[in-house]
Chain A
Amino acid sequence: MNPALLGLVTIVLGVVGCVGYFYLSNLVLDTVIFPARGPHAGRNINWANMVRPWLFLLPAIVALGLYLAYPVVETLRLSLTERVPGGGYTWVGLANYEQMLKEPKFWEAMRNNIMWLIVVPALSTAFGLLTAQLTDRIRWGNLAKSLIFMPMAISFVGAAVIWKLVYDTRPVEQDQIGMLNALYIFFGGTEPQTWLTIPIWNNFFLMAVLIWIQTGFAMVILSAALRGIPEETIEAAIVDGAGPLQIFFKIKVPQIRTTILVVWTTITITVLKVFDIVFAMTNGQWETQVLANYMFDKLFRANDWGLGSAAAMVIMLLVTPILIWNVRNARKEMR
């Protein structure tokens, strides 16, 4: 069948199926299992109302359980086993982790990931804060915001192509068509550089892509937070003779500290999962490996599920503090 047609059928089936499930299950609950009539009407209504939430929740719980909760456990199990040729698994304990820790590529990925984790959230948040503060004060600020926010809509792969053109290199005797090299030559560079193959520095050229994408996100959230600051605090500061910089750093920033933290952690999680950019631009060559790409490499190129799962568990481990922090905050808020 034509895939587009198949998609259409799926939409119809999916929507009808979903609505049908919820409608019919409610109907069955109310009329067949616990009918609201007869001698036990009152008790039945109570029973039905106890069961109903779970009817509403069931598909979502199945989806969450199967696609997110179960894989965490299963990945942990896989990371402790080794596939046996011909099928089946053997328990190998921590051997996969040991092997991973011996690989220089893993340590390269760890080192790069740590650099990403420091640089990208910091610069995205800083740029976001800067643009949020500046655009709030001018009339065409909304237009500016929407243009800076735009990279959010562009795929990592699309962004990789966009930036590869910026970093493009031509032989020295030709005109440079990559902007970075053109600027480099314009400001007195002699040899055009192949930016993505210069170890260590090339990591920063990759990070630039993610910063470019994430700044808009940071800006939107921080701009809303800045607007939420009570006017009186700022007016009081003006009366006391504070300058614009003092107002910004001493009055505004402390008041939106939690929001800054939220933005920071959200970008941190994005950074830990970053895969497409590295995959599309260097594929981890020239010492640009990161954990997510290292893991993909192990899983699907080396076909080593044990080692790949161990790498995935490392990512999970790095996310866990943020996970706990989020859950604790959410519980505090619910109370």
Chain B
Amino acid sequence: MDNIAGSKSTLTWLVHISVAALVILWLIPTFGLFISSFRTADQIATNGWWQSLFPSEQNLTLRSAAPETQVEQNGLYVIEGQLFEDGAKAKISVWGISSRDIGSYKPGDTAELRKGGNITVQVDGSYRMESSEPFTGSRGSRVFVTATQPPKFTLFNYQDMLFKDGSASGMGKAFLNTFTVTIPATIIPILVAAFAAYALAWMEFPGRAILVAAVVGLLVVPLQLALIPLLKFHLEIGIGKGYLGVWMAHTGFGMPLAIYLLRNYMAGLPRDIIENARVDGATDFQIFVKLILPLSFPALASFAIFQFLWTWNDLLVAKVFLIDATGQTTVMTQHIIELLGTFGGNWEILATAAFVSIAVPLAVFFAMQKYLVRGLLAGSVK
């Protein structure tokens, strides 16, 4: 199919370029947030994340060390040091000592300080201040530099978010809560649905066709309808809002897809194996546990991934059935919503929080993509 109608080479190039463009278009929003999560608040506020990937020229206001660090050498008072933080590797092109004239000196030049003495700044940001009189005051002198800085990233945001109590604390707890919701809500529906799927695929009984049709119908029922009736029901039977309720809700909402996927897969298993086992005297329970379950692993894995992604990423069900007024059981999606409200402009917090919550599904996605695709193909109603 590759060499359609002769004009192969130009067309192939066009395809390569358009696919590359599409991939970049699709990746760039995520990539931008990802890069932002490794930048400090100041960096994010000063320029776009795309500028952080290249060495950038910036005007900075820096300060020399305070006069109290001065030492006396041969009758001269000297302050020596480095204007940049450790390892900044910036290169100064011009500098100055007045905010009205920030580019009057070249690296290596010496400038007269207004309060007496002089200062020499080198290209790498090291400086030397000399004066015959002691330097006074509590703060160092300001130095205005125009410097080219290499890209600089930090893990600070992640450390701050996960291991410290502070502005955005709670993400660590929300992470654990999300896990607590997700794992039972993934495993239990699989078991329940697998038995039902086996019955619908391999057992003869009246009403089977209607049940299968009902499952297909329930696949598309919006869970929005379930919110109030079930919240009412949970409150009446005394579960209230909490983990038990959210596990039950996820089990119920995941059930149609689980049964549908598993039944389709199981119905496609070879009839001989199952009938041979029956002839050999195996009970349905034995056939199910020893034959069907192991053989259905791909379908089980497909559904497990769906359910995991869906419960991990869910906001609505958790909001309605889990999170109460105390906020102790908040999940990550809800936590991010709250951060959006309180730290709407603090992109270092938002970006980091978003990536903490995205990391696990992404890992699952890339590790088990084969099963996800297989499940999608089986799950879209044909």
Do A and B share a complex? yes
List residues of chain A with CB under 8 Å of any chain B CB.
Answer: 3-4, 6-7, 10-11, 14-15, 18-19, 22-23, 26, 30, 50, 52-54, 56-57, 59-61, 63-64, 66-72, 74-75, 78, 127, 130-131, 134-135, 137-138, 141, 144, 146-158, 160-166, 168, 175-179, 182, 212, 215, 217, 220-221, 224, 231, 234, 238, 241-244, 247, 258-259, 262-263, 266, 269, 272-273, 275-276, 279-280, 292, 295-296, 299-300, 305, 308-309, 312-313, 315-316, 319, 322-323, 326-327, 329-331, 333-334
Q: Is the CB of B33 within 8 A of A275?
A: no
A215 to B23, CA, bound (A): 12
Given A3-B176, A4-B179, A329 and B191 contact (CB-CB distance below 8 Å)? no
Q: Whose C-beta in chain A lies nearest to the C-beta of B353?
A: A161
Q: Is the CB of A19 within 8 A of B191?
A: yes
Q: Is the CB of B222 within 8 A of A316?
A: yes
Q: Is the CB of A148 within 8 A of B26?
A: yes
Scoring B47, B229, B336 by chain A CB atoms within 10 A of each residue's CB, the highest score goes to B229
**What are 20 contact pairs spanning A and B, CB under 8 A?**
A10-B184, A54-B199, A57-B211, A64-B252, A64-B256, A68-B218, A69-B214, A70-B229, A71-B229, A130-B22, A137-B2, A137-B12, A146-B366, A155-B315, A156-B313, A161-B336, A162-B29, A165-B29, A276-B316, A330-B381
| 7 further A-B pairs in the complex, CB-CB below 8 A; given A11-B188, A71-B226, A135-B19 | A68-B252, A156-B315, A161-B353, A164-B340, A179-B29, A212-B26, A217-B376
Given A4-B180, A149-B369, A155-B313, A330 and B213 contact (CB-CB distance below 8 Å)? yes
Binary interface profile of B, 166-200, with partner A (CB < 8 Å = 1, else 0)?
00000000001101110110011101110110111
Q: Is the CB of B179 within 8 A of A162?
A: no
**Whole-angstrom distance from the CB of B179 to the nearest CB of chain A?**
7
Given A148-B22, A244-B11, A323-B220, A155 and B284 contact (CB-CB distance below 8 Å)? no
Given A71-B230, A151-B30, A329-B382, A138 and B184 contact (CB-CB distance below 8 Å)? no
Binary interface profile of B, 316-345, with partner A (CB < 8 Å = 1, else 0)?
100110000000010001001100100000
Scoring B218, B244, B366 by chain A CB atoms within 10 A of each residue's CB, the highest score goes to B218
Determine the main DSSP class of A at the interface with B. Answer: helix
A238 to B7, CA, bound (A): 12
Binary interface profile of B, 198-232, with partner A (CB < 8 Å = 1, else 0)?
11100111001101111111111111111111101
Given A53-B199, A72-B225, A66 and B23 contact (CB-CB distance below 8 Å)? no
Q: Whose C-beta in chain B lies nearest to the C-beta of A217?
A: B376
Given A18-B191, A148-B23, A322-B220, A161 and B350 contact (CB-CB distance below 8 Å)? yes
Q: Is the CB of B222 within 8 A of A53?
A: no
Given A10-B184, A326-B220, A161 and B192 contact (CB-CB distance below 8 Å)? no
Binary interface profile of B, 6-37, with partner A (CB < 8 Å = 1, else 0)?
00000110011011101100111110110010
Residues from chain A with a CB closer than 8 A to the CB of B225 are 71-72, 75, 312-313, 315-316
Residues from chain B with a CB closer than 8 A to the CB of A3 are 176-177, 180, 243, 329
B162 proximal to A (CB < 8 A): no
Partner of B5, one of A7, A135, A243, A326: A243
Residues from chain B with a CB closer than 8 A to the CB of A333 are 382
Identify the 9 closest CB pairs spanning chains A and B, nearest first: A67-B252, A155-B313, A60-B196, A153-B365, A74-B229, A56-B199, A7-B180, A71-B226, A330-B216
A148 to B377, CA, bound (A): 17
Residues from chain B with a CB closer than 8 A to the CB of A244 are 4-5, 11
Q: Whose C-beta in chain B lies nearest to the C-beta of A25?
A: B285
**Whole-angstrom distance from the CB of B112 to the nearest CB of chain A?**
33
Q: Is the CB of B187 within 8 A of A14?
A: yes
Residues from chain B with a CB closer than 8 A to the CB of A23 are 285
A323 to B16, CA, bound (A): 40
A259 to B29, CA, bound (A): 29
**Whole-angstrom distance from the CB of B284 to the nearest CB of chain A?**
6
Q: Is the CB of B222 within 8 A of A146?
A: no
Please tell me which stretch of B74-82, B100-108, B136-144, B354-362 contacts chain A, meaning at least 4 of its Cβ atoms lie within 8 angstroms of it: B354-362
**Whole-angstrom distance from the CB of A71 to the nearest CB of chain B?**
4
Given A3-B176, A327-B213, A22 and B5 contact (CB-CB distance below 8 Å)? no
B303 proximal to A (CB < 8 A): no
Q: Is the CB of B340 within 8 A of A299?
A: no
**Whole-angstrom distance from the CB of A69 to the nearest CB of chain B?**
7
Q: Is the CB of B364 within 8 A of A153?
A: yes
Partner of A14, one of B11, B184, B259: B184
Residues from chain B with a CB closer than 8 A to the CB of A305 are 228
Scoring B192, B193, B216 by chain A CB atoms within 10 A of each residue's CB, the highest score goes to B192
Residues from chain B with a CB closer than 8 A to the CB of A176 are 48
B71 proximal to A (CB < 8 A): no
Q: Is the CB of A163 within 8 A of B29?
A: yes
Q: Is the CB of B32 within 8 A of A179?
A: yes
Q: Is the CB of B19 within 8 A of A280?
A: no
Given A72-B221, A150-B362, A63 and B251 contact (CB-CB distance below 8 Å)? yes
Residues from chain A with a CB closer than 8 A to the CB of B381 are 262, 266, 326, 329-330
**Whole-angstrom distance from the CB of B219 to the nearest CB of chain A?**
7
Q: Whose C-beta in chain B lies nearest to the C-beta of A275?
A: B316
